[in-house]
């Protein structure tokens, strides 16, 4: 529903790789667009205005670095995320050296896990940027700018993870978040923690705010009571 409406443009000259990435990103729910070289990549980008562009470094007609540079020169792509694909990880130093404003790079051979977790991470960052700084629900106020939680005017001390977890749940009151959801948003999908960890944090929040705010939906997850 939310995250999966992002548009991703993938530019690479090898059809196999294009197909491979296309398959994996679509499976994740992203809208995917493809182009075989930098030139056509730029055209396509203008056309669909993607949220993120995956650029191969080595390509005929127009290579990734030059394409990136040209994209960055256009105001509409100043802040679009760009991820490079490099054949060898050492190539990254070149990209960095060229200083064209890449947000990340992924070395070939591409592992679906890595690809997806990097892309998810970048787009999550984007998500966060338009998150509200203050959530108000009844007598509960959650202010991300100051990292302060107030209940009935009374300040409640929250540790970082507790705060982030509460902020996530309270951001969509009534919506059930699965543990998988929560892990992805609060921990990031590369981190591996056991389910009970979330429960412990939930418990701590309940201790501080009372049991009525967060309810358990058995077999599914947790939600903030609207």
Partner DNA sequence: TGAGGTTGTTAATAATTAGTTAAAGTTATC
Partner DNA sequence: GATAACTTTAACTAATTATTAACAACCTCA
* Between 4 and 93, CB nearer to a copy of itself: 4
- Cα–Cα distance between 17 and 21 in angstroms, integer? 6
C-beta of residue 226 within 8 angstroms of C-beta of residue 170: no
Widest Cα–Cα separation across the chain: 63
- Cα–Cα distance between 33 and 48 in angstroms, integer? 8
DSSP state of 5: G
* Between 1 and 192, CB nearer to DNA: 192
Question: Of 8-16, 23-31, 96-104, 192-200, which segment contacts a copy of itself by CB under 8 A?
Answer: 23-31
Instruction: Give Cα separations from 195 to 61, 72, 176, 180, 221 (angstroms).
Output: 49, 42, 16, 9, 11
Considering only residues 88, 113, 125, 134, which one is a binding residue for a copy of itself as defined by CB under 8 A?
A: 134
**What is the token pair recorded at 9?**
């443009």
**Residue 162 interacting with DNA (CB under 7 A):** yes
Q: What share of the chain is helix, strand, coil (3-state, %, to 5)?
A: 45, 25, 30
Q: In the chain, count of helices (H) and strands (E)?
A: 8, 12
Q: Give min distance, CB of 55 to a copy of itself, in A.
A: 19
Query: What residues contact 69, with CB distance under 8 A and at least 6 apart?
Result: 98, 100
Length of the chain: 226
DSSP state of 125: H
Give 193's strand partners: none
Question: How many residues of this chain bind a copy of itself (CB under 8 A)?
Answer: 37
Q: Give min distance, CB of 88 to a copy of itself, in A.
A: 26
What does 202 interact with, of DNA, a copy of itself, none (CB < 5 to 8 A by kind)?
A: DNA
Considering only residues 15, 19, 27, 96, which one is a binding residue for a copy of itself as defined by CB under 8 A?
A: 27
What does 191 interact with, of a copy of itself, DNA, none (CB < 5 to 8 A by kind)?
A: DNA
* Between 56 and 162, CB nearer to DNA: 162
Q: Give min distance, CB of 57 to a copy of itself, in A.
A: 25
**Residue 200 interacting with DNA (CB under 7 A):** yes
x/- string (CB under 8 A) for a copy of itself, residues 171-190? ---xxx--------------
What does 176 interact with, of DNA, a copy of itself, none (CB < 5 to 8 A by kind)?
A: a copy of itself
Binding stretches for a copy of itself (CB under 8 A): 4, 27-29, 31, 33, 46-49, 75-76, 78-79, 129-130, 132-136, 145-148, 159-161, 174-176, 217-220, 223, 226
């Amino acid at each position: 529903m939310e995250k999966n409406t992002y548009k991703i443009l993938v530019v690479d000259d090898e059809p196999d790789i294009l197909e491979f990435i296309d398959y994996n990103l679509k499976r994740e729910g992203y809208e995917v667009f493809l182009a075989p070289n930098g030139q056509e990549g730029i055209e396509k980008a203008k056309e669909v205005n993607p949220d993120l562009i995956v650029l191969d470094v080595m390509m005929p007609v127009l290579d990734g670095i030059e394409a990136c540079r040209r994209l960055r020169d256009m105001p509409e792509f100043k802040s679009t995320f760009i991820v490079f694909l490099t054949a060898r990880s050492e190539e990254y130093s070149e990209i960095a050296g060229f200083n064209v404003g890449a947000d990340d790079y992924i070395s070939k051979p591409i592992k679906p896990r890595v690809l997806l977790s990097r892309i998810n991470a970048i787009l999550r960052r984007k998500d966060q940027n338009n998150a509200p700084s203050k959530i108000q629900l009844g007598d509960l106020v959650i202010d991300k700018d100051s990292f302060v939680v107030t209940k009935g005017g009374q300040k409640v001390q929250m540790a970082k993870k507790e705060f982030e977890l509460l902020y996530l749940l309270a951001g969509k009151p009534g919506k059930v978040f699965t543990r998988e959801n929560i892990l992805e948003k609060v921990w990031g999908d590369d981190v591996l923690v056991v389910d009970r960890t979330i429960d412990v944090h939930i418990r701590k929040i309940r201790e501080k705010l009372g049991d009525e705010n967060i309810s358990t939906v058995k077999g599914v997850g947790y939600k903030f009571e609207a």
